[in-house]
Amino acid sequence: MKSFKIMRIQLLKLTIIVSLGALFAIYSLNGSPVEAFSSGPFPSLTGAPGESSCRDCHGGGPTGGTLSINGLPATYSPNQEITLTVRLAQQNRLRFGFQLTAIDDAGKRAGDLIPNDNRAQTQTNNVNGNQRQYINHTGQGNAPTSSGQGSWTFRWRAPAQIVGRVTFYVAGNAANGNFSTTGDTIYTTNLSIQPSPTLTNLTSVSAASFTAQSLASEAIVAAFGRNLAAQLAVAETLPLPTTLAGTTVKVRDSAGVERLAPLFFVAPAQINYQIPEGAAPGEATVTITSGDGQVSTGMLNIADVAPGLFSAASSGQGVAAAVVLRVKADGAQSYEPVARYDAAQNRFVGLPIDLGEEGDQVFLLLYGTGFRHHGDLAGVTVKLGDVETAALFAGGLREYAGLDQLNLRIPRSLAGRGEVDIALNADGHESNRVKIHIR
Per-residue pLDDT reduced to its tens digit, 346-385: 999 999 999 998 899 999 999 999 999 999 999 999 999 9
Is 88 part of any domain? yes
Is 4 part of any domain? no
* Structure-derived torsion over alpha carbons of residues 84, 90, 96, 101, reported in degrees to the nearest 10: -40
Q: What confidence score (pLDDT) does residue 200 get? A: 65
Residue that is last in its domain, among 303, 320, 355: 303
The reply to whether 296 and 234 lie within a common domain is yes
Give the H/E segment covering residue 252: strand 248-252
* 378-425 tens-digit pLDDT: 999 999 999 999 999 999 998 899 999 999 999 999 999 999 999 999
Question: CA-CA distance, 265 to 244, in Å (whole number)?
Answer: 8
Torsion 67-71-75-78 (CA) sign: negative
The reply to whether 287 and 403 lie within a common domain is no
Domain count, the chain: 3
Q: What confidence score (pLDDT) does residue 29 get? A: 28
Is 312 part of any domain? yes
Is 58 part of any domain? yes
The reply to whether 284 and 329 lie within a common domain is no
Q: CATH code at 403?
A: 2.60.40
Residue 432 has pLDDT above 60, yes or no: yes
Q: Which of 260, 28, 263, 41 is nearest to 138 (CA)?
A: 41
Residue 73, phi then psi, degrees to nearest 5: -75, 180
Asked if 187 contacts 171 with a C-beta cutoff of 8 angstroms, the reply is yes
For residue 138, give Cα distances in angstroms to 118, 127, 400: 7, 23, 58
Is 260 part of any domain? yes
Q: What percent of the chain has pLDDT over 90?
A: 77
Q: CATH code at 246?
A: 2.70.50.70
The reply to whether 377 and 365 lie within a common domain is yes
Q: CATH code at 184?
A: 2.60.40.4060
Is 13 part of any domain? no
With bands split at pLDDT 50, 70 and 90, how would you rate the model's confidence at 341? very high
Residue 207 burial (C-beta neighbours within 10 Å; 0-12, 13-18, 19+): buried
Strands 263-266 and 215-216, by their bridges, are unpaired
* 220-256 tens-digit pLDDT: 999 999 999 999 999 999 999 999 999 999 999 998 8
Q: What confidence score (pLDDT) does residue 117 get? A: 96
* Structure-derived torsion over alpha carbons of residues 391, 304, 272, 436, reported in degrees to the nearest 10: 20
Q: What percent of the chain has pLDDT over 70?
A: 90
Taking the CB of residue 242, how many other CB atoms lie within 10 A of it? 18
Is 12 part of any domain? no
Q: What confidence score (pLDDT) does residue 199 get? A: 55
Q: Which of 350, 332, 353, 333 is nearest to 341 (CA)?
A: 350
The reply to whether 339 and 265 lie within a common domain is no
* 70-84 tens-digit pLDDT: 999 999 988 899 999
Domain that holds residue 371: 308-438
Which amino acid is located at 170 in the chain?
A: V
* 271-295 tens-digit pLDDT: 999 999 999 999 998 999 999 988 8
Query: Beta partners for 353?
Result: 438
Residue that is last in its domain, among 131, 164, 196: 196
Q: Which of 387, 333, 343 is nearest to 365 (CA)?
A: 333
Q: What confidence score (pLDDT) does residue 20 get? A: 29
- Residue 187: CB partners within 8 Å, gap ≥ 6? 65, 66, 67, 88, 171, 172, 173, 174
List, in sequence order, every beta strand (DSSP E) within 147-199: 149-157, 166-175, 182-195
Q: Of residues 169 and 177, which shows the higher confidence score?
A: 169
Asked if 158 contacts 78 with a C-beta cutoff of 8 angstroms, the reply is yes
Asked if 187 contacts 66 with a C-beta cutoff of 8 angstroms, the reply is yes
What radius of gyration do the chain's Cα atoms show? Answer: 33
The reply to whether 327 and 278 lie within a common domain is no
The reply to whether 190 and 213 lie within a common domain is no
Torsion 194-214-264-271 (CA) sign: negative
Range 277-303 burial, b when 16+ CB lie within 10 A, else e: eebebeebbbbbbbbeebbbbbbbebb
Q: Which of 293, 281, 66 is nearest to 189 (CA)?
A: 66
The reply to whether 77 and 138 lie within a common domain is yes
Q: What confidence score (pLDDT) does residue 9 get? A: 38
The reply to whether 159 and 106 lie within a common domain is yes
Question: CA-CA distance, 162 to 131, in Å (whole number)?
Answer: 18
3-state secondary structure of 2: helix
End-to-end CA gap in the chain: 117
For residue 163, give Cα distances in angstroms to 13, 254, 267, 348, 405: 56, 11, 24, 43, 34
Residue that is last in its domain, among 287, 303, 319: 303
The reply to whether 65 and 131 lie within a common domain is yes
3-state secondary structure of 7: helix
Residue 104 has pLDDT above 50, yes or no: yes
The reply to whether 79 and 176 lie within a common domain is yes
Is 231 part of any domain? yes
Query: Beta partners for 348?
Result: 341
Q: What confidence score (pLDDT) does residue 213 get? A: 83
Q: What confidence score (pLDDT) does residue 243 get? A: 98
Residue 29, phi then psi, degrees to nearest 5: -80, -35
Residue 19 has pLDDT above 90, yes or no: no
The reply to whether 213 and 344 lie within a common domain is no
Q: What confidence score (pLDDT) does residue 390 get? A: 93
**Comparing 26-40, 221-235, 299-313, which segment has the lowest mean pLDDT?**
26-40
